Amino acid sequence: MKYALIFVSILFFSCQQDTNKASKNEAQEKAIKEKEPEVVIPSAGDKEINLSEVKKLQQEELMLFLENYFEENPERRFVIETDFGNIKIELFEDTPWHTANFTRLAKLGYFNTTFFHRVADDFVVQGGNSDKVITHKFRSKIGKYLIPNEALPQYKHVYGAVSAAKYSEQNVSNASSPFEFFIVESERGAHHLDKDHTVFGRVIEGMDIVQKISEVEVDDSEWPVKNVGIKVRVLD
C-alpha cells in the first residue's frame, strides 16, 4: 500500500508538471501571436528604417508632396540590380510626379522587397510587386493613391522605355499605380500603350539583361517560375 501511494503521488506530480508545462507553452504561443512583430527593412543605403517612419500619403496631398519631393531630391539615374546583371535607367525631368514617386520608393527601399513579377516575352518585363508579406505591409504604409497621367507626346513606348503600370478597372483617367513599373522589351515597341500609360524614363544601359529576364520560364499568369528579385539604388 505504501509503495502504491508513492507511485500514485509520483504519477500525480508528473501529470501536474505536464499540465503546467502545456499551459505555459500555450501562454507563450498566445503571447507570440498577439505581439505585433516589428518590421525593419533595409533602405537604399546601409542603414535600417522602420515602417513607422514612412509617411502615409493621402490623395488630396499627393501633388504638392511630389512636387516638393521632386525639387528636393535631384537624383535621376538609378541601377536595378538582379541576379542576371544590372539595368541602368534615367528618369525624365518633365514627368515630375512619376519621377518623384519612383525616386521616393527607391530611396525608401520599397523596390528591394519586390520582383520582376510579370514577364511577357517580346513585350515587357514588369517589376514592383511580390508575394512577400513585407511588400504588402510597405504598400499599406505608403498609401493607396494614384498618380495622375503624365503621358507626353515626345515619350513613346519604344524599346527600352520605362513606364508606369496602371489599374484597368474604373480608371478612365489612366492614372498610374505608384508601385509597379515596366520596361518595354519588344524591339517593335509597344505603341498601343502610348497615352494610356506614362513613360517616365528610359534604360541607358543593360537591355541585354532585360532580354535575359524576358526569356525566363513563367507560369500561366506570366509570373516567373523562379522569382527574379530586384534591388534599386541611386546611381547619381
CATH value at residue 205 = 2.40.100.10
Q: Is residue 150 part of a domain?
A: yes
According to DSSP, the residues that pair with 202 across neighbouring strands are: 90, 161
Q: Is residue 177 part of a domain?
A: yes
pTM comes to 0.79
How would you class 203 by CB atoms within 10 Å of its CB: exposed for 0-12, middle for 13-18, buried for 19 or more? buried
Q: Is residue 107 part of a domain?
A: yes
Q: What are the DSSP calls for 120-149, one per residue?
A: ETTTEEEEEE-S-HHHHHHHHHH-S--BPP
Q: Is residue 46 part of a domain?
A: no
Structural domains in the chain (count): 1
Q: Is residue 9 part of a domain?
A: no
Q: What is the pLDDT of residue 25?
A: 54
C-alpha cell at 207: 537591355
What whole-number distance in Å separates Cα of residue 91 and Cα of residue 203?
Answer: 9
172-194 b/e (C-beta count within 10 Å ≥ 16 → b)? eebbbbbbbbbbbbbeeebeebb
Specify the higher pLDDT residue, 14 or 153.
153
**pLDDT tens profile 158-168:** 999 999 999 87
Q: What is the pLDDT of residue 167?
A: 82
Average pLDDT rounded to a whole number, residues 43-63: 76
150-163 b/e (C-beta count within 10 Å ≥ 16 → b)? bbeeebbbbbbbbb
Q: Is residue 7 part of a domain?
A: no
Q: Is residue 11 part of a domain?
A: no
Q: Is residue 20 part of a domain?
A: no
Q: What is the pLDDT of residue 82?
A: 97
**pLDDT tens profile 169-200:** 657 789 999 999 999 999 999 999 999 999 99
Q: Taking a C-beta distance cutoff of 8 angstroms, is the pair 101, 203 a contact?
A: no
State which residues form the domain around 220.
Answer: 55-234
Q: What is the pLDDT of residue 50?
A: 74
Q: What is the pLDDT of residue 53?
A: 84
Q: Taking a C-beta distance cutoff of 8 angstroms, is the pair 181, 85 a contact?
A: no
Q: What 3-state DSSP class applies to 81?
A: strand
Residue 43 pLDDT exceeds 70: no
How would you class 76 by CB atoms within 10 Å of its CB: exposed for 0-12, middle for 13-18, buried for 19 or more? middle
C-alpha cell at 44: 537604399
Mean per-residue pLDDT over the chain, rounded: 85
Q: Taking a C-beta distance cutoff of 8 angstroms, is the pair 68, 97 a contact?
A: no
pLDDT confidence tier of residue 51, bands split at 50, 70 and 90 = confident
Residue 28, amino acid:
Q
Chain position carrying cell 519586390:
114
Specify the higher pLDDT residue, 158 or 33.
158
- Side-chain half-sphere exposure of 161, counting CA atoms within 13 A: 26
Q: What percent of the chain shows pLDDT beyond 70?
A: 78
